[in-house]
Structure 1
């Protein structure tokens, strides 16, 4: 995820109650909430020059084929395919509008296990200056329909579930986060993420 994994683990543990389980010897950790996998955290696979950011990975049954489709439709491939311990393989690319994204081919049936609960992923939003073109790109690469939102900066934005949005933002600010807009924050290292108040 970024350039200070130790600090990030402390920050997000305080914010979401996450625990971290080391995987392999390259500094990668699985993120656990109530013992279930909610994500991963570690050094940026594309190198520290890319700074700190949340990466959204899209599932691929055949990583190489999906990567080749992405490249054929105008993506810039940064990491063509590397193993992630014994859990699977990943690739990183930038779509034609400029949004970084990942592709993930898991070695197991399950990936992220816990979703749509407090402290877990509750969706990801694609912002694009050209929403229709971005929707066409991901339909061609992944074979599924998405809805992109108009935005000056192209990016995938993960959103995590919370029980009380106002209380969460107050706690996040106290831990060093910056509120960037309604439901939108950045952590102390600049990684942007959203939160969604769950019923």
Structure 2
């Protein structure tokens, strides 16, 4: 897959894992996907890379969020100040920002009307994850919510007809899906089988199964695995 440096408004463009245990997160995901971590600033934020390409971020849980570990999904914005105003007008709640992220861009964190945390990102150079739609990289993002109608109305108001996957669920939150090699190739050093399609590797590394394709990592953050056509991002 070619390097990706631009995303249309509303497209999932960045993910990061915020956690109370940076060491534990590095051990789990580094072993599962072969990720490497480079410290980005003095606040403990790290860039996640695979084969030298950026695929996301890792950092300590911000004080504006409940303590714990979670994956955050960010949607692309070309004008973050306008997006922030629209979030409020459409019934969302802004909890942080916009704030600068060094020279890379600006971000904003909010809670949508369905209760899901969501981020918005205005890139200064590369607009998001550079490596996508490959094994070990971000391949898709879904919003799981008990209030899909409220969520759809909100995001349609923000971005029009940009295709976003919103699934009815008793669990509320955005979920990133990462690619795994075809089952015969396995994941990392844990291996896999045709039947589990990568689940065995995640479970062996300490993940807990939730439902088909979804897992909670040892710190409680929810993520998904896919070994489909690896072309799910817009």
- Place the TM-score, normalised by the shorter chain, in its bin: over 0.9
Give the structure 1 partner of residue 71 of structure 2. 54
Per-residue CA distance 1:170-199 (angstroms, 9 max, x = gap)? 222222111112111111110000000135
Separation in structure 2 between the aligned mates of residue 132 and residue 169 of structure 1, nearest angstrom: 31
Give the structure 1 partner of residue 226 of structure 2. 196
Separation in structure 2 between the aligned mates of residue 71 and residue 48 of structure 1, nearest angstrom: 18
147, 166, 170: which one pairs with 1:148?
Answer: 166
Aligned to 1:49, what secondary structure does the other structure show? coil
Separation in structure 1 between the aligned mates of residue 44 and residue 127 of structure 2, nearest angstrom: 22
Per-residue CA distance 1:142-196 (angstroms, 9 max, x = gap)? 3434241111232111100012272632222222111112111111110000000
Paired positions, count: 199
Aligned to 2:66, what secondary structure does the other structure show? helix
Give the structure 1 partner of residue 215 of structure 2. 185
Q: What does 1:6-155 correspond to in 2, within 5 Å?
A: 6-47=23-64, 49-143=66-160, 144-155=162-173
* Greater RCO (CA < 8 Å, at least 6 residues apart): 2
Higher share of residues assigned helix: 1
CA 1:62/1:46 → structure 2, altered by over 3 Å: closer, same or farther? farther
Task: Note if 1:169 corresponds to 2:169.
Answer: no
TM-score normalized with structure 2 length = 0.80
Report the RMSD for the aligned CA atoms in angstroms.
1.7
Aligned to 1:123, what secondary structure does the other structure show? strand
TM-score normalized with structure 1 length = 0.93
Separation in structure 2 between the aligned mates of residue 110 and residue 63 of structure 1, nearest angstrom: 13
Give the structure 1 partner of residue 178 of structure 2. 160
Moved more, 92-101 or 147-156: 147-156
- Cα deviation for residue 27 of structure 1 reads 0.6
Separation in structure 2 between the aligned mates of residue 47 and residue 105 of structure 1, nearest angstrom: 20
Separation in structure 2 between the aligned mates of residue 79 and residue 181 of structure 1, nearest angstrom: 31
CA 1:171/1:57 → structure 2, altered by over 3 Å: closer, same or farther? same
Q: Which runs of 5+ in 2 are unaligned?
A: 1-17, 184-191, 230-234
Moved more, 123-132 or 18-27: 123-132
- Cα deviation for residue 124 of structure 1 reads 0.4
